[in-house]
Amino acid sequence: MKIEQVSSKLLQPIYNVTDDQPVPTRKSIPLTVFDKLADDQHIPLLYAYKPPNPSNALLEQGLQKVLPEYREWAGRLGEDEDGEFVILLNDEGMRFIEASADCTLDEAIPFTVSTLLELNSSLEGPMKELALVQLTRFTCGSLVLSFSSNHIVADGVFVSQFMIAWAQACRGLEIHPRPVHERNIFVPRNPCDIKFDHTSVEIAKRKINEDSSMLPYAKDDLACEILHFTPEFIAKIKNKASSSSLTCEDVNGGYSSSYSTFECLVAHLWRVITRVRGLGESDTTYVRISVNGRRRLRPRVPNEYFGNLVLWAFPETQGKNLFDESLSHTAGVIHDAVAKVNDEYFKSFVDFAKKNQHDENLMPKKVADMKVPSMWPNLEVQSWLGFPFNDVDFGVGKPSIFMPSFDPFEGEIYLVPSVVGDGSIDVYVTLFQQHLPLFEQICYNID
């Protein structure tokens, strides 16, 4: 298939200027300690809508109406007079691309890696724009809407809120709830109380393991495998991982007699991929898991907080434990690591970042162009299980597809709620194609 770009332009906010609501005059917003930890790269996601679907003109108008509430997307990264990183609220605009495909959407599915790259132009190279929309029309009338945004500006939790607001604007509704822009809420304690070794975690493990450059694979060997876990299969995994004798502390401080769906699925995938990779019993491996601070901090930060509020858990073990111990044991390793990233841990990191505010390791960084992009021997898991994608309704109903674009890093995993709506989960895994036959053979085996 061929995708041709029809137009590309910058969209600026359209302000509804009144005496009570004048044009905002704020010039910039500082980056928080959590924004600075985010990689300077665009994270794309895709929505597909079968006909009838919204026109490009409607989507463009809705975007310009919603941007006054989300000025950061139309701004640029820069520095203030003190040399501190900021988001410049200059309204230069969000990139808006219109494209057309020479086939039907059904003919293009399943998307190849090259197609996914064409459906989102932000993957072609560095961009000065902080957000990009690409609308690709297929010959059958179907629409693929790709939205990507610079991770420094906001995390995935907030992006899902923005997409709902855009849909509300297209339907002529009031934006609700409105975003929370207060990025000065992360104040270090006085005196600072650093209780954890953040140097060995947030700094040391932020760097990708360069050992992957020694692997006998190439960048062109990367492939994406999509799994569909039915509710029945998920129930089997949870039953195998959980027992009546265990008690797990949950995020709210209560206790549960079973591990979560997320913990069980990640435990299963960790064990399978470790076997597929052929790691040895003495090899150490960890999973990098994003932990949303909105749910952890006390007082709680609302979901509408505009920015990044993520730290990571790093459950770690040796290959022999993944081979010989039970699925319940692996789920427990994951559960315990995630539970440790709590209110006290987040506040300790804020104190740590204040004391080390000039450390270059705590500043935004470009993603390295690696010869062999891989997390080897580790994994990274992005969970979109809580994203309300069904609410991204531009007036014609929910999307027929909701998925990440291709993430060119071996060992990267996305957990996405299936659009089927029956509780099933789609799992997107980037692996080397040499490992796919064995992966496909054992990924649905839980014995």
Residue extents of the structural domains in the chain: 3-171, 212-385+401-443
- What pLDDT is stored for residue 7 in this prediction? 95
Question: In this predicted structure, what is the pLDDT of residue 377?
Answer: 94
CA 139 to centroid of chain Cα atoms: 30
188 preceded by cis ω (within 30°)? no
Q: Following DSSP, what letter does each residue of 333-398 receive, concatenated?
A: HHHHHHHHSSHHHHHHHHHHHHHTTT-GGGS-EEPP--SS-B-TT-EEEEE-TT--GGG--SSS-S
pTM of the model: 0.91
pLDDT in the model for residue 201? 93
Task: Using the CB atoms, write b or e for 305-320: b if 16+ within 10 Å.
Answer: bbbbbbbbbbbebbbe
Report the pLDDT value the prediction gives residue 234, as an integer from 0 to 100. 96
Farthest CA pair distance, the chain: 69
Q: Check for a shared fold between 3-171 and 212-385+401-443.
A: yes
Structure confidence at residue 164 (pLDDT): 95
User: Which SS3 state, helix, strand or coil, does residue 393 take?
Assistant: coil
Domain 212-385+401-443 fold: Chloramphenicol Acetyltransferase (3.30.559)
Q: In sequence order, what are the beta bridge partners of 30?
A: 86
pLDDT at 339: 96
- The structure tokens 């219109």 sit at 98
- pLDDT by residue for the chain (447 residues), tens only, comes to 899 999 999 999 999 866 666 677 789 999 999 999 998 888 899 999 999 999 999 999 999 999 999 999 999 999 988 888 999 999 999 999 999 999 999 999 989 888 988 998 876 666 799 999 999 999 999 999 999 999 999 999 899 999 999 999 999 999 999 999 888 889 999 999 999 999 999 988 887 665 666 789 998 999 999 999 999 999 999 999 986 435 555 555 555 558 999 999 999 999 999 999 999 999 999 999 999 999 999 999 998 999 999 999 999 999 999 999 999 999 999 999 999 999 999 999 999 999 998 888 888 877 767 788 899 999 999 999 988 888 899 999 999 999 998 888 899 999 999 988 899 999 999 999 999 999 999 999 987
Dig out the tokens for 421 from the structure: 């709506």
User: What is the model's pLDDT at position 244?
Assistant: 43
For domain 3-171, the CATH architecture is 2-Layer Sandwich (3.30)
Angstrom CA distances, 57 to 49, 97, 153, 275, 409, stand at: 16, 12, 26, 50, 35
Q: Which residues are catalytic?
A: 151, 393
Tell me the CA end-to-end span of the chain in Å, nearest whole number. Answer: 41
